[in-house]
Chains A and B, each alone.
Chain A
Amino acid sequence: MNPIKFLEPTNFTEAISLLDQHADDAKIIAGGVSVTLMLQQKLIAPSALISLGHISNYAFIRHEKDGLHIGALTKLRDIERSDVVKKFCPALAYTFSVVANVRVRNQATIGGNLSAADYAADPPAMLTALDARVQVQGAEKNREIHLSEFFLGFYTTALEPNEILTEVIIPTLPSSASAAYHKYTSISAEGRPCVAVGAVADFDNDRKCSDLRIAVGAAVETPQRVRDAETLAHGSTLTDELVAAIADEYSLRLDPLTDVRGSAWYRKEMIRVFVKRALEEVRCDR
Protein backbone atom coordinates (compact mmCIF):
# COMPACT_ATOMS: atom_id res chain seq x y z
CA MET A 1 0.00 0.00 0.00
CA ASN A 2 1.33 3.45 -0.86
CA PRO A 3 1.83 5.75 2.09
CA ILE A 4 -0.85 8.37 2.56
CA LYS A 5 0.38 11.79 1.49
CA PHE A 6 0.03 14.57 4.06
CA LEU A 7 -0.51 17.86 2.24
CA GLU A 8 -0.42 21.24 3.95
CA PRO A 9 -1.95 24.03 1.87
CA THR A 10 -1.71 27.55 3.28
CA ASN A 11 -5.08 28.81 2.03
CA PHE A 12 -8.50 27.43 1.10
CA THR A 13 -8.04 28.01 -2.64
CA GLU A 14 -4.97 25.81 -2.61
CA ALA A 15 -6.79 23.21 -0.48
CA ILE A 16 -9.67 23.10 -2.98
CA SER A 17 -7.36 22.65 -5.95
CA LEU A 18 -5.68 19.77 -4.07
CA LEU A 19 -9.14 18.26 -3.50
CA ASP A 20 -9.83 18.60 -7.23
CA GLN A 21 -6.54 16.91 -8.11
CA HIS A 22 -7.26 13.93 -5.88
CA ALA A 23 -10.91 13.62 -6.88
CA ASP A 24 -12.71 11.53 -4.26
CA ASP A 25 -9.52 10.10 -2.90
CA ALA A 26 -8.43 12.83 -0.50
CA LYS A 27 -9.73 13.66 2.93
CA ILE A 28 -9.68 17.05 4.63
CA ILE A 29 -8.22 17.05 8.13
CA ALA A 30 -8.69 20.04 10.46
CA GLY A 31 -8.41 19.31 14.20
CA GLY A 32 -8.01 15.65 13.35
CA VAL A 33 -10.29 14.08 15.95
CA SER A 34 -12.74 12.56 13.54
CA VAL A 35 -10.32 11.75 10.70
CA THR A 36 -7.76 10.09 13.01
CA LEU A 37 -10.53 8.01 14.56
CA MET A 38 -11.74 6.87 11.13
CA LEU A 39 -8.18 6.12 9.98
CA GLN A 40 -7.45 4.11 13.13
CA GLN A 41 -10.64 2.13 12.70
CA LYS A 42 -9.84 1.64 9.01
CA LEU A 43 -13.15 3.19 7.97
CA ILE A 44 -11.35 5.39 5.44
CA ALA A 45 -8.29 4.78 3.28
CA PRO A 46 -7.54 8.05 1.47
CA SER A 47 -4.53 8.49 -0.80
CA ALA A 48 -3.95 11.92 0.68
CA LEU A 49 -4.82 13.94 3.74
CA ILE A 50 -5.22 17.66 3.11
CA SER A 51 -4.46 19.37 6.40
CA LEU A 52 -5.97 22.78 7.14
CA GLY A 53 -3.52 23.26 10.02
CA HIS A 54 -1.42 25.81 8.14
CA ILE A 55 -4.31 28.01 7.04
CA SER A 56 -4.33 31.16 9.15
CA ASN A 57 -7.07 33.72 9.79
CA TYR A 58 -9.91 31.21 9.99
CA ALA A 59 -9.88 30.81 13.75
CA PHE A 60 -12.01 33.81 14.71
CA ILE A 61 -15.17 34.78 16.55
CA ARG A 62 -16.73 38.10 15.58
CA HIS A 63 -20.04 39.70 16.44
CA GLU A 64 -21.11 41.56 13.32
CA LYS A 65 -24.32 43.36 12.37
CA ASP A 66 -26.03 40.26 10.99
CA GLY A 67 -24.91 37.92 13.70
CA LEU A 68 -22.07 35.90 15.12
CA HIS A 69 -19.39 34.79 12.67
CA ILE A 70 -17.17 31.88 13.65
CA GLY A 71 -14.26 30.81 11.44
CA ALA A 72 -14.25 27.16 10.46
CA LEU A 73 -10.90 26.50 12.12
CA THR A 74 -11.96 27.84 15.53
CA LYS A 75 -11.45 25.24 18.26
CA LEU A 76 -14.52 24.19 20.23
CA ARG A 77 -12.71 25.12 23.45
CA ASP A 78 -12.22 28.69 22.22
CA ILE A 79 -15.93 29.00 21.42
CA GLU A 80 -16.88 27.63 24.83
CA ARG A 81 -14.62 30.13 26.60
CA SER A 82 -15.29 33.16 24.40
CA ASP A 83 -16.82 36.17 26.14
CA VAL A 84 -18.27 37.24 22.79
CA VAL A 85 -20.13 33.93 22.48
CA LYS A 86 -21.24 33.95 26.14
CA LYS A 87 -22.69 37.43 25.65
CA PHE A 88 -24.22 36.62 22.25
CA CYS A 89 -25.97 33.46 23.43
CA PRO A 90 -25.04 31.72 26.69
CA ALA A 91 -26.73 28.50 25.55
CA LEU A 92 -24.39 28.35 22.56
CA ALA A 93 -21.27 28.66 24.73
CA TYR A 94 -22.75 26.00 27.01
CA THR A 95 -23.36 23.67 24.06
CA PHE A 96 -19.70 23.75 23.14
CA SER A 97 -18.65 23.29 26.78
CA VAL A 98 -20.36 19.89 26.97
CA VAL A 99 -18.82 18.36 23.85
CA ALA A 100 -16.80 15.23 24.72
CA ASN A 101 -13.94 16.32 27.00
CA VAL A 102 -11.47 19.15 27.28
CA ARG A 103 -8.87 17.35 25.12
CA VAL A 104 -11.27 16.86 22.23
CA ARG A 105 -12.43 20.47 22.54
CA ASN A 106 -8.81 21.68 22.42
CA GLN A 107 -8.37 19.88 19.12
CA ALA A 108 -11.69 19.80 17.30
CA THR A 109 -12.83 22.70 15.11
CA ILE A 110 -16.38 23.91 14.45
CA GLY A 111 -15.89 23.41 10.71
CA GLY A 112 -14.71 19.86 11.23
CA ASN A 113 -17.48 19.08 13.68
CA LEU A 114 -20.17 20.13 11.22
CA SER A 115 -18.51 18.72 8.10
CA ALA A 116 -18.04 15.32 9.75
CA ALA A 117 -21.85 15.22 10.20
CA ASP A 118 -21.54 12.74 13.03
CA TYR A 119 -25.09 12.34 14.30
CA ALA A 120 -23.95 11.81 17.92
CA ALA A 121 -22.70 15.37 18.33
CA ASP A 122 -23.86 18.40 20.30
CA PRO A 123 -23.39 21.52 18.15
CA PRO A 124 -25.61 20.54 15.18
CA ALA A 125 -28.89 20.56 17.16
CA MET A 126 -28.25 23.90 18.88
CA LEU A 127 -26.95 25.55 15.71
CA THR A 128 -29.95 24.26 13.73
CA ALA A 129 -32.33 25.71 16.33
CA LEU A 130 -30.44 29.01 16.07
CA ASP A 131 -31.03 28.99 12.30
CA ALA A 132 -27.30 29.06 11.57
CA ARG A 133 -25.86 28.88 8.10
CA VAL A 134 -22.43 28.01 6.76
CA GLN A 135 -20.18 29.71 4.21
CA VAL A 136 -18.72 27.29 1.75
CA GLN A 137 -15.85 27.85 -0.65
CA GLY A 138 -15.73 25.90 -3.90
CA ALA A 139 -13.50 25.82 -6.97
CA GLU A 140 -15.67 28.23 -8.97
CA LYS A 141 -17.93 29.92 -6.48
CA ASN A 142 -18.70 30.45 -2.85
CA ARG A 143 -22.15 29.80 -1.43
CA GLU A 144 -24.12 29.75 1.80
CA ILE A 145 -26.04 26.75 3.04
CA HIS A 146 -28.59 26.84 5.84
CA LEU A 147 -27.88 24.14 8.38
CA SER A 148 -31.42 22.85 7.86
CA GLU A 149 -30.26 21.89 4.34
CA PHE A 150 -26.68 21.02 5.21
CA PHE A 151 -27.00 17.65 6.94
CA LEU A 152 -28.25 15.02 4.51
CA GLY A 153 -27.74 11.82 6.51
CA PHE A 154 -25.20 9.82 8.48
CA TYR A 155 -21.80 11.44 7.87
CA THR A 156 -23.22 13.07 4.73
CA THR A 157 -23.54 16.78 4.02
CA ALA A 158 -24.55 19.01 1.12
CA LEU A 159 -20.86 19.83 0.54
CA GLU A 160 -19.66 18.93 -2.94
CA PRO A 161 -16.44 16.89 -3.09
CA ASN A 162 -14.43 20.02 -3.89
CA GLU A 163 -16.06 22.35 -1.39
CA ILE A 164 -14.86 23.33 2.08
CA LEU A 165 -16.81 24.90 4.92
CA THR A 166 -15.07 28.16 5.86
CA GLU A 167 -17.36 29.99 8.28
CA VAL A 168 -20.46 29.57 10.43
CA ILE A 169 -22.93 32.46 10.79
CA ILE A 170 -25.51 32.58 13.55
CA PRO A 171 -28.17 35.28 13.20
CA THR A 172 -28.55 37.65 16.14
CA LEU A 173 -31.45 36.74 18.40
CA PRO A 174 -33.97 39.42 19.33
CA SER A 175 -33.39 40.65 22.89
CA SER A 176 -36.79 39.19 23.79
CA ALA A 177 -35.71 35.67 22.79
CA SER A 178 -34.07 32.96 24.84
CA ALA A 179 -32.26 29.76 23.98
CA ALA A 180 -31.41 26.52 25.75
CA TYR A 181 -29.48 23.37 25.04
CA HIS A 182 -30.30 20.10 26.78
CA LYS A 183 -28.15 17.05 26.39
CA TYR A 184 -28.94 13.59 27.60
CA THR A 185 -25.97 11.24 28.00
CA SER A 186 -26.86 7.61 28.62
CA ILE A 187 -23.31 6.25 29.00
CA SER A 188 -21.42 7.90 31.83
CA ALA A 189 -17.92 7.22 30.50
CA GLU A 190 -18.42 8.99 27.20
CA GLY A 191 -19.58 12.44 26.32
CA ARG A 192 -21.69 11.68 23.27
CA PRO A 193 -25.37 12.55 23.52
CA CYS A 194 -28.17 10.00 23.31
CA VAL A 195 -30.57 12.89 22.75
CA ALA A 196 -29.63 16.52 22.00
CA VAL A 197 -32.22 19.30 22.10
CA GLY A 198 -31.64 22.90 21.06
CA ALA A 199 -34.50 25.31 21.64
CA VAL A 200 -34.98 28.98 20.80
CA ALA A 201 -38.13 30.90 21.70
CA ASP A 202 -39.16 34.49 21.25
CA PHE A 203 -41.91 36.21 23.21
CA ASP A 204 -44.06 39.29 22.72
CA ASN A 205 -44.88 41.79 25.44
CA ASP A 206 -47.60 39.65 27.06
CA ARG A 207 -45.21 36.69 27.36
CA LYS A 208 -46.92 34.96 24.48
CA CYS A 209 -44.63 32.91 22.32
CA SER A 210 -44.12 34.54 18.91
CA ASP A 211 -41.53 32.15 17.54
CA LEU A 212 -40.31 28.72 18.53
CA ARG A 213 -37.61 26.55 17.02
CA ILE A 214 -36.68 23.21 18.53
CA ALA A 215 -34.13 20.94 16.88
CA VAL A 216 -33.58 17.40 18.11
CA GLY A 217 -30.27 15.76 17.26
CA ALA A 218 -28.23 12.66 18.17
CA ALA A 219 -31.40 10.54 18.46
CA VAL A 220 -32.01 10.86 14.75
CA GLU A 221 -29.85 10.82 11.63
CA THR A 222 -29.78 14.59 11.20
CA PRO A 223 -31.12 17.40 13.43
CA GLN A 224 -34.89 17.50 13.04
CA ARG A 225 -37.51 20.16 13.65
CA VAL A 226 -41.23 19.38 13.82
CA ARG A 227 -42.86 22.49 12.39
CA ASP A 228 -46.41 21.49 13.34
CA ALA A 229 -45.33 21.13 16.94
CA GLU A 230 -43.49 24.45 16.92
CA THR A 231 -46.50 26.34 15.56
CA LEU A 232 -48.65 25.04 18.43
CA ALA A 233 -46.81 27.60 20.54
CA HIS A 234 -47.39 30.62 18.32
CA GLY A 235 -49.49 33.26 20.02
CA SER A 236 -49.82 31.28 23.22
CA THR A 237 -48.32 31.32 26.68
CA LEU A 238 -46.08 28.32 27.23
CA THR A 239 -48.21 26.70 29.92
CA ASP A 240 -47.37 23.28 31.37
CA GLU A 241 -50.11 21.77 29.20
CA LEU A 242 -48.78 23.36 26.02
CA VAL A 243 -45.19 22.36 26.83
CA ALA A 244 -46.34 18.77 27.37
CA ALA A 245 -48.31 18.81 24.11
CA ILE A 246 -45.30 20.04 22.12
CA ALA A 247 -43.00 17.47 23.76
CA ASP A 248 -45.53 14.72 22.99
CA GLU A 249 -45.71 15.82 19.38
CA TYR A 250 -41.92 15.67 19.01
CA SER A 251 -41.83 12.23 20.57
CA LEU A 252 -44.62 11.01 18.31
CA ARG A 253 -43.38 12.50 15.04
CA LEU A 254 -39.68 11.70 15.16
CA ASP A 255 -38.36 8.34 14.11
CA PRO A 256 -35.31 7.75 16.33
CA LEU A 257 -32.47 5.37 15.67
CA THR A 258 -31.24 2.48 17.79
CA ASP A 259 -27.60 2.29 18.82
CA VAL A 260 -25.43 1.58 21.86
CA ARG A 261 -26.75 4.74 23.55
CA GLY A 262 -30.38 3.68 23.45
CA SER A 263 -33.14 1.95 21.53
CA ALA A 264 -35.58 3.80 19.30
CA TRP A 265 -38.34 3.29 21.88
CA TYR A 266 -36.18 4.61 24.71
CA ARG A 267 -35.14 7.60 22.67
CA LYS A 268 -38.76 8.47 21.90
CA GLU A 269 -39.37 8.63 25.66
CA MET A 270 -36.22 10.68 26.25
CA ILE A 271 -37.09 13.09 23.42
CA ARG A 272 -40.35 13.76 25.28
CA VAL A 273 -38.47 14.44 28.53
CA PHE A 274 -35.72 16.63 27.09
CA VAL A 275 -37.89 18.69 24.72
CA LYS A 276 -40.03 19.42 27.78
CA ARG A 277 -37.01 20.45 29.87
CA ALA A 278 -35.64 22.67 27.10
CA LEU A 279 -39.03 24.38 26.76
CA GLU A 280 -39.27 24.86 30.52
CA GLU A 281 -35.89 26.54 30.45
CA VAL A 282 -36.66 28.96 27.61
CA ARG A 283 -40.01 29.72 29.21
CA CYS A 284 -38.51 30.30 32.64
CA ASP A 285 -36.18 32.99 31.35
CA ARG A 286 -39.03 35.30 30.57
Chain B
Amino acid sequence: MILNVNGSRHEVEAGTRTLLEVLRDDLGLVGAKEGCGIGMCGACTVLVDGKPISGCLTLAEQVPGKEILTIESLEKNGQLHPVQQAFIDERAFQCAYCTPGFILSAVALLNENPNPSEDDIREYLSGNLCRCGSYQNILKAVVEAGKRLR
Protein backbone atom coordinates (compact mmCIF):
# COMPACT_ATOMS: atom_id res chain seq x y z
CA MET B 1 0.00 0.00 0.00
CA ILE B 2 1.33 3.43 -0.95
CA LEU B 3 0.56 6.51 1.13
CA ASN B 4 1.22 10.01 -0.14
CA VAL B 5 2.40 11.87 2.96
CA ASN B 6 3.79 15.41 2.87
CA GLY B 7 4.43 15.10 -0.85
CA SER B 8 6.40 11.83 -0.69
CA ARG B 9 5.27 8.31 -1.46
CA HIS B 10 5.70 5.75 1.30
CA GLU B 11 5.16 2.03 1.03
CA VAL B 12 3.62 0.66 4.22
CA GLU B 13 2.03 -2.51 5.54
CA ALA B 14 -0.87 -1.09 7.49
CA GLY B 15 -3.21 -3.98 8.24
CA THR B 16 -6.09 -2.48 10.17
CA ARG B 17 -3.93 0.04 11.96
CA THR B 18 -5.03 3.65 12.06
CA LEU B 19 -3.45 6.37 9.97
CA LEU B 20 -2.12 7.86 13.22
CA GLU B 21 -0.31 4.64 14.15
CA VAL B 22 1.23 4.33 10.69
CA LEU B 23 2.35 7.97 10.63
CA ARG B 24 3.98 7.74 14.04
CA ASP B 25 5.30 4.18 14.16
CA ASP B 26 6.25 3.50 10.53
CA LEU B 27 7.05 6.94 9.15
CA GLY B 28 8.39 8.55 12.32
CA LEU B 29 6.09 11.54 11.92
CA VAL B 30 5.32 12.11 15.59
CA GLY B 31 3.81 15.59 15.31
CA ALA B 32 0.32 14.10 15.35
CA LYS B 33 -0.32 12.81 18.87
CA GLU B 34 -2.76 10.40 20.38
CA GLY B 35 -4.87 12.14 23.01
CA CYS B 36 -8.28 10.63 23.57
CA GLY B 37 -8.16 8.02 20.79
CA ILE B 38 -11.86 8.55 20.06
CA GLY B 39 -11.91 11.60 17.78
CA MET B 40 -12.81 14.10 20.46
CA CYS B 41 -9.61 15.98 21.32
CA GLY B 42 -8.00 16.77 17.98
CA ALA B 43 -4.39 16.04 19.02
CA CYS B 44 -4.13 13.61 16.07
CA THR B 45 -5.48 16.06 13.48
CA VAL B 46 -4.01 15.61 10.00
CA LEU B 47 -5.17 17.03 6.67
CA VAL B 48 -6.48 14.60 4.06
CA ASP B 49 -7.07 16.30 0.72
CA GLY B 50 -6.94 19.59 2.59
CA LYS B 51 -9.56 18.69 5.17
CA PRO B 52 -8.85 18.07 8.84
CA ILE B 53 -9.68 14.58 10.05
CA SER B 54 -8.81 12.53 13.13
CA GLY B 55 -5.85 10.24 12.46
CA CYS B 56 -7.09 7.97 15.24
CA LEU B 57 -10.48 7.42 13.56
CA THR B 58 -9.14 6.74 10.08
CA LEU B 59 -7.75 3.43 8.94
CA ALA B 60 -4.60 3.81 6.84
CA GLU B 61 -6.32 1.53 4.29
CA GLN B 62 -8.88 4.27 3.68
CA VAL B 63 -6.45 6.90 2.43
CA PRO B 64 -4.14 5.58 -0.34
CA GLY B 65 -4.36 7.97 -3.30
CA LYS B 66 -5.18 10.89 -1.04
CA GLU B 67 -2.89 13.76 -0.14
CA ILE B 68 -1.99 13.50 3.53
CA LEU B 69 -0.37 16.47 5.26
CA THR B 70 1.03 16.49 8.79
CA ILE B 71 2.44 19.34 10.85
CA GLU B 72 5.92 18.38 9.59
CA SER B 73 4.98 19.62 6.11
CA LEU B 74 4.28 23.23 7.09
CA GLU B 75 7.81 24.55 7.49
CA LYS B 76 9.31 25.40 4.10
CA ASN B 77 13.04 26.09 3.61
CA GLY B 78 13.55 26.85 7.27
CA GLN B 79 10.62 29.26 7.23
CA LEU B 80 7.72 28.52 9.58
CA HIS B 81 4.18 28.67 8.22
CA PRO B 82 2.46 31.96 9.18
CA VAL B 83 0.11 30.04 11.49
CA GLN B 84 3.07 28.43 13.27
CA GLN B 85 4.81 31.79 13.65
CA ALA B 86 1.63 33.39 14.97
CA PHE B 87 1.30 30.64 17.61
CA ILE B 88 4.83 31.44 18.80
CA ASP B 89 4.29 35.20 18.73
CA GLU B 90 1.04 34.96 20.69
CA ARG B 91 2.41 32.29 23.07
CA ALA B 92 -0.52 30.09 22.11
CA PHE B 93 0.61 27.00 23.99
CA GLN B 94 1.89 25.77 27.30
CA CYS B 95 2.65 22.04 27.20
CA ALA B 96 2.10 22.08 23.39
CA TYR B 97 0.70 18.55 23.14
CA CYS B 98 -2.39 19.89 21.36
CA THR B 99 -0.51 22.43 19.22
CA PRO B 100 0.11 20.45 15.99
CA GLY B 101 -3.61 19.61 15.86
CA PHE B 102 -4.66 23.19 16.54
CA ILE B 103 -2.27 24.56 13.91
CA LEU B 104 -3.44 22.14 11.20
CA SER B 105 -7.09 22.86 12.01
CA ALA B 106 -6.36 26.59 11.85
CA VAL B 107 -4.58 26.18 8.49
CA ALA B 108 -7.64 24.32 7.12
CA LEU B 109 -9.99 26.95 8.53
CA LEU B 110 -8.05 29.83 6.96
CA ASN B 111 -7.92 28.03 3.61
CA GLU B 112 -11.67 27.53 3.73
CA ASN B 113 -12.51 30.95 5.14
CA PRO B 114 -9.67 33.50 4.86
CA ASN B 115 -11.49 36.08 6.98
CA PRO B 116 -13.21 34.23 9.84
CA SER B 117 -14.91 36.03 12.72
CA GLU B 118 -13.87 35.14 16.26
CA ASP B 119 -17.03 33.06 16.53
CA ASP B 120 -16.17 31.21 13.30
CA ILE B 121 -12.75 30.40 14.79
CA ARG B 122 -14.23 29.24 18.11
CA GLU B 123 -16.76 27.08 16.30
CA TYR B 124 -14.28 25.52 13.88
CA LEU B 125 -11.72 24.81 16.58
CA SER B 126 -14.25 23.63 19.16
CA GLY B 127 -13.25 20.03 18.46
CA ASN B 128 -9.63 20.70 19.43
CA LEU B 129 -9.06 20.57 23.16
CA CYS B 130 -6.26 22.29 25.09
CA ARG B 131 -5.97 20.95 28.59
CA CYS B 132 -3.63 23.77 29.65
CA GLY B 133 -6.41 26.18 28.73
CA SER B 134 -4.52 28.37 26.26
CA TYR B 135 -7.69 29.05 24.32
CA GLN B 136 -7.55 32.86 24.51
CA ASN B 137 -4.03 32.98 23.11
CA ILE B 138 -4.87 30.37 20.47
CA LEU B 139 -7.76 32.58 19.36
CA LYS B 140 -5.43 35.59 19.15
CA ALA B 141 -2.89 33.56 17.18
CA VAL B 142 -5.44 32.45 14.60
CA VAL B 143 -6.77 36.00 14.22
CA GLU B 144 -3.20 37.23 13.76
CA ALA B 145 -2.34 34.43 11.31
CA GLY B 146 -5.43 35.29 9.28
CA LYS B 147 -4.25 38.92 9.01
CA ARG B 148 -0.77 37.83 7.93
CA LEU B 149 -2.13 35.44 5.31
CA ARG B 150 -4.57 37.89 3.77
A interface residues, Cβ below 8 angstroms from B: 3-4, 6, 29, 32-33, 36-37, 39-40, 49, 51, 53, 77, 100-104, 106-107, 189-191
Contact = CB atoms under 8 A, between A and B. Distances in A.
A107 B57 contact: yes
B31 interface: no
A104 B52 CA distance: 9
Nearest to B41: A189
Quick one: which of A37, A40, A102 has the most chain B CB within 10 A?
Answer: A102
Contacts of B117: none
A33 B124 contact: no
Contacts of B37: 40
A189 B43 CA distance: 13
Contacts of B53: 103, 106-107
29 contacts: A3-B16, A4-B15, A29-B62, A32-B58, A32-B62, A33-B57, A36-B57, A36-B59, A37-B38, A37-B57, A39-B16, A39-B59, A40-B38, A40-B56, A49-B61, A77-B51, A100-B40, A101-B40, A101-B128, A102-B124, A102-B127, A103-B42, A103-B52, A104-B54, A106-B48, A107-B58, A189-B40, A190-B40, A191-B40
Contact of B42 (A3, A32, A36, A101): A101
Which 3 residue pairs are nearest across A and B when measured between Cβ atoms? A101-B127, A6-B61, A106-B51
Contacts of B127: 100-104, 191
Contacts of A77: 51
A93 B41 CA distance: 24
Interface of B: 15-16, 18, 37-42, 45, 48, 51-54, 56-59, 61-62, 105, 124, 126-129
A51 B62 contact: yes
Nearest to A51: B62
Q: Tell me what chain A mostly uses at the interface: helix, strand, loop, or mixed.
A: mixed
Nearest to A30: B62
A36 B40 contact: no
Contact of B39 (A3, A53, A103): A103
Contacts of B126: 101
B39 A104 contact: yes
Given A29-B59, A32-B59, A33-B57, A106 B16 contact: no
A191 B41 CA distance: 11
Contacts of B42: 101, 103
A261 to B, nearest CB: 13
Contacts of A39: 16, 59
Contacts of B48: 106
Nearest to A104: B39
Contacts of A53: 62
A90 B58 CA distance: 30
Contacts of B16: 3-4, 6, 39, 49
Contacts of B45: 103
A33 B56 CA distance: 9
Nearest to A77: B51
A104 B54 CA distance: 7
A104 B128 CA distance: 12
A176 to B, nearest CB: 32
Nearest to A97: B123
Contacts of B57: 32-33, 36-37, 103-104, 107
Contacts of B129: 189
A107 B18 CA distance: 14
